[in-house]
Structures are given as C-alpha cells and as structure tokens.
Amino acid sequence: MSTLVADERIRSLRPPKPRVDPLTAHGSVVEEERRPDGSIERALTVFLAGAECPFTCSFCDLWRYTTDGPTPDGALPRQLRQVLGGLAAPLPDRVKLYNASNFFDRRAVPADDIPAIAELVSGFARVTVESHVNTIGAATLDFARRIPGRLEVAVGLETIHPVAAARINKRLDLARFERGSRFLADNAIDMRVFVLLGAPHVPVPESVDWTVRTVEHAVERGAAVVSIIPVRGGNGEMERLQLLGEFTPPTFAQLEEALDRCLRFSGTVVTADLWDAEKLPACEQCRAPRIERLRRLNVTGLAESRIACAVCGSG
C-alpha cells in the first residue's frame, strides 16, 4: 500500500478534532529530569500549538493538538512569551519546545519566527525541540548556532521490529536514523529518542522484548535520553488494527517490565512516559503506588522492588 493511501485511510478514521487556538499554548509543566551524568535538572516543557506533522504515523495521537493549516507567523513566539511571562525566577535549567510536530518543518515553525524563538530561549542552559529524523539538517544547525544553550533534538525511533517499522507509516528506516544520529553527534547536538511500547504489528508475547531491543539500539547510537511511550488508542486506526488482531493496548505491567529491564543501560537515561499512565490496564488496588514507583525510577535510575499486591499478585 502506498504511503498516500495509508495517509488518507488514517486521517479518514480520526474522530473530530478539538478546536486549537494558534495564539495560545496548550500548557506547560516544570519537572525534574535526570541526565546521563547523574545530575538532576529542572525542565520546563511548553506544549505549543501549531501545524500538524505531515508524516501521518499510524499510532499518532498528537494530531488532535494541532491547527488545521500552517502555523500563523508570530503565533509561536506569542505563545512562548505568555508561558515564560508566568514563570517565577530563577529559570529552569532546560526548556523543551514540543509542538506536536517537527520544529524544523517551516510549515509548523515559520522561518521568520526562528530569531524570536531563539531570543526567548536564550536564558536557558539547554533547549530541546522535537523533529522527525527526516527534517534534521541545515535548519537544525542554524538554530543550534542561534542559541547560547546546548541543543537537544527529540526524535521518534518507535521500533526496530522489521515488520512493524515498515507498516506504521513512519517513513523512517534504520539507515536514515543512523545518519540522523551521526549528524547530531558530529555537530555536538544531543539526541533524545522516543520508543514505543505496544507497537502495532508486534506480537504481544514479543512486545516488551522489542521495546527493550529498540531502546538498546538508541543507546548504542548515543541517545542521551530514551523515553518509553505506551501506544494509546483513540485515533481510529489503532481501533481498526485492534479489530484485525494487529494491535493490543499495552498494560502497566509491560511498562514496568520494560523500564526495569532498561535500567541496566549506562550512559543513557531511560524513562517511562507516564502521560495517561492511570488509563493503562492495571489493578485498581495497586495502580497508584506502582505509578509512583516508576516516577521515582525516572528520576533516580535506581532499581526498586516491585510493589506487592495481595489483590493482583504483583510484586
């Protein structure tokens, strides 16, 4: 099936998208994050509203946070000013600009806005933006040179399972990821990587193994941070694949196992994405303390015993 046909099918199955105001950021959060050297930094994540990513991955749910057309000129600097204006001093160590798309796609981030954005983040020691590997290049270097802080680019590797990687409509192969990771390393730009748990087309008994193998692949290519993200339904395509037996929603127990097994990697911080973790299938009796355990592991990187539960037998 051609990618254009897949794009059309995926988009046709989506439920109605909430209205997105291009002049107002979705929100922001300040959290503690561990870095590869063991230090703990305060990181501000700003969830910006802008144009949708053009790649139409089958598992994506970020489209619902994007505008219907190109990001209007001046919208992103305005959003960022609003968020930064409400911060108390001192500034966090890092700012992460997450626009649910690709920072180096000029439909999503207009070229004329780059100088203003660079100026607005100039007070941060480190800056993270997100991008599909295919949009990394000259624009990445240009932005890195404009900011006094160190740049980090967050990219989706998703899975190295050969069948799944070819069928999730990502338009990314391992050779291209290899070139992208080498480009960032050669230019002293850090790399953060997103890896899926429960990727469609991966057999359930192999799901955690392939997540761990994908994390290891990112570690071996110099990732500073790897975030394990459970695949979420709700975009129509995941429901279609579930009916076909090609997708099974991941469980909280799988997320625990994946993170526990990845704590052995050195030189890279591996974390579990806990966004909507309370919605993952799990025992209601022990869900909350198990989430808190993973939250601690994300910050400390130190192994802990599982939470024991008499109801579900976990622990």
Q: How far is CA 312 from CA 45, 259, 282, 307, in A?
A: 35, 20, 9, 11
Residue 307 lies in a domain: no
Query: Does residue 313 lie in a domain region?
Result: no
Rg (CA), the chain: 19
> How many domains are there within the chain?
1
Residue 10's domain is classified under what CATH number? 3.20.20.70
Domain presence at residue 309: no
pLDDT at 4 (0 to 100): 82
- pLDDT by residue for the chain (315 residues), tens only, comes to 678 889 999 999 999 999 999 999 999 999 999 999 999 999 999 999 999 999 999 999 999 999 999 999 999 999 999 999 999 989 999 999 999 999 999 999 999 999 999 999 999 999 999 999 999 999 999 999 999 999 999 999 999 999 999 999 999 999 999 999 999 999 999 999 999 999 999 999 999 999 999 999 999 999 999 999 999 999 999 999 999 999 999 999 999 999 999 999 999 999 999 999 999 999 999 999 999 999 999 999 999 999 999 999 887
Contact 274, 299 (CB under 8 A): no
Sequence-ordered alpha helix ranges (H) in 147-272? 162-167, 174-186, 207-220, 237-243, 252-262
> Is 312 part of a structural domain of the chain?
no
Query: Which residue range is the domain that position 81 belongs to?
Result: 3-300
Q: Read off the pLDDT of residues 23-72 as tens digits, 9 standing for 90 and up.
A: 999 999 999 999 999 999 999 999 999 999 999 999 999 999 999 999 99
101 part of a folded domain: yes
Q: What is the mean pLDDT of the chain?
A: 97
In a domain, 305, yes or no: no
Q: Chain-centre distance of CA 242, in angstroms?
A: 23
Residue for token pair 């087309």: 201
Whether residue 314 is contained in a domain is answered as no
Question: Which class for 36: exposed (0-12), middle (13-18), buried (19 or more C-beta within 10 A)?
Answer: middle
In a domain, 40, yes or no: yes
CA dist 116 and 90 (Å) reads 21
